[in-house]
Structure 1
């Protein structure tokens, strides 16, 4: 199987895709992505090159509950984790972030690479509504929108650091000791007040791209997705916890992307 793929970028430049070392991908993401936290289950680290210059990176793998993810989207089919792959991280050099076409060209080259080198049925991804992202690059690439769900993050009220729930293990252990219980799955309001940590809710938007004819047939069996309109900025929702089980609407939260006191990972 071929391990590279190329696509035209504008009238002269060519975009080439190939697998790159994990360390190179992580370094690029830590330098240019708004979130420094890497997914845990990664299978491919792909580099997107323009004239031999690394201009973008996509990491493919799965989230924390791979089987539940695909079964929730397609409850009437017995699909398994091996039937799909997820975009865990995607970022570009800053000079390409402001363009309207580069993201779509990367997606096009990514789809081509997946079709040539893998047997996955679907490419899956999430747009991070908490960061104000509705998934416009996926909409421009004709992904099927499959609805949204509410998720939570934490924010240090002093530094502004966004604390991902996956990075809160030590805080959860401290929270459990603080409350005198064996375990906590979410940071409690009282503990967060003590630590100066805010809990913020927002929406995540699901997108799916069929990679094969079989995938298209499966997707057609779920007409409920065909009627969903793409989300826009007006569909973003943000709330902040003000008490146990109590939340109030807020404007889009801001985070300090340079602070990594809690979001520490080893590779």
Structure 2
């Protein structure tokens, strides 16, 4: 693992984490409900950030994991890893080590947390290489038609609109999402109004059980399925897992 063992992972203030995310995350955006931020330091310099928080829609994700008594985990007993960004300065295997250390810190300081959820953006970024290397299991692959590219190049996700439907939006001339849709969720109407284009791709859902006595209630999908359905992506490039493996062996 080399110098990856020398990385220090510790909690950092949200303003420092958010500034780093805006600079290094491919979206350039933070998630407003991120509450717990870990910084990854090497030689005293910040080179990575992992932000955890509650999912935007708890009702859909809580049934994914049950306790050993076969009851749903409570809303405050899980976290979503909803932003992760690293610069190019860290050594190989740094990301998976940082995730592992953050899990240990969560388990020590917040022992009520039972599981971690995360999503991989196979439309713009990748299919979850780091999650697979960090012991997550794949529990969902869905075609993604919830992302829109505006004429100015900005990318907007449907959940951004639906989580703050009354917020004025510059692309709507200051009107809110609800003002456009008459108080309804209507992403297609928004896309048409802003003259945007739907980005096609996949979203992949990963789960990691911190509490090993819990159980996942949905089928675990073999990683080979990613290539089978054409969902492979790495650093924004459509490429299969097999192609990446073969390239390393050359």
Instruction: Report the TM range for the smaller structure's normalisation.
Output: 0.7 to 0.9
Deviations 1:192-238 (A, max 9, x none): 445321123432111111112323xx24xx4832x533554564459
Structure 2: distance between partners of 1:161 and 1:16:
34
Counterpart of 2:121 in structure 1 is: 128
Counterpart of 1:246 in structure 2 is: none
1 or 2, which has the higher strand percentage? 1
How many residue pairs get aligned? The number is 221
Deviations 1:222-262 (A, max 9, x none): 4832x533554564459xxxxxxxxxxxx96xxxxxxxxxx
* Contact 1:73/1:146 (8 A) holds in 2: no
Counterpart of 2:153 in structure 1 is: 160
Structure 1: distance between partners of 2:110 and 2:208:
14
> Which runs of 5 or more residues in structure 1 are unaligned?
1-8, 239-250, 253-267
Shift in Å, 1:123: 1.5
| Distance change (3 Å), C-alpha of 1:155 and 1:234 | farther
Shift in Å, 1:174: 6.2
**Given the alignment, which residue of 90, 96, 100 partners 1:104?**
96
1:139 and 2:132 correspond: yes
Counterpart of 1:244 in structure 2 is: none
> Which runs of 5 or more residues in structure 2 are unaligned?
239-250
1:94 and 2:101 correspond: no
Counterpart secondary structure, 1:188: helix
Counterpart of 1:182 in structure 2 is: 182
* Contact 2:158/2:187 (8 A) holds in 1: no
RMSD over equivalenced CA pairs, Å = 3.0
Scaled by the length of structure 1, the TM-score of the pair is 0.71
| Distance change (3 Å), C-alpha of 1:79 and 1:92 | same
| Residues 19-58 of structure 1 aligned to structure 2 (within 5 Å) | 19-58=11-50
Structure 2: distance between partners of 1:203 and 1:12:
31
1:149 and 2:148 correspond: no
